[in-house]
Amino acid sequence: LTEGNYTEIIPQCWDYFVELMRNVTTSELCEWKVISRPYSELQRCLEFYADRLNYTYPNALAEQYIFRSHHHYFHNCTLEHPEYFDPPEDVLLAMIIAPICLIPFLVTLVIWRSKDGKAQA
């Protein structure tokens, strides 16, 4: 069994996904609890036939259908309240240490400039 067979069979997965998505209203399109079943079924179907036909998964054809689902159904989904995460520890440490290291330099610069100004007067 070859890629050709997989290409011929997986449109059935898409058709089943489309059928499941008919039960989802427009306002529910971005609610994971509503779309998780159809979405998971699409992935399960694509993976099932890939496994059955001894074809690797994930693969380019399966990804095309996943991208197609995102483009067709989920392209307007964004987080209403984006989740903020702390930066990695090394970045956080650099953000803390950099200003602390600048303070002695700036103090030295101010003292040096003030002494230079007195010498000219």
Residue 81, CA distances (Å) to 35, 84, 118 in order: 19, 9, 56
Q: What is the pLDDT of residue 117?
A: 63
Task: Report the percent of the chain where pLDDT is more than 90.
Answer: 51
18 found inside a domain: yes
> Which pTM value belongs to this model?
0.61
Number of domains into which the chain is organized: 2
Element housing 40 (H / E): helix 32-52
CB-count exposure of residue 16 (10 Å: 0-12, 13-18, 19+): middle
Show the domain range for 116: 86-120
Mean of all residue pLDDT scores within the chain: 87
Number of separate helices (H) and strands (E) present in the chain: 5, 0
Q: How confident is the model at residue 89 (pLDDT cuts 50, 70, 90)?
A: confident
54 found inside a domain: yes
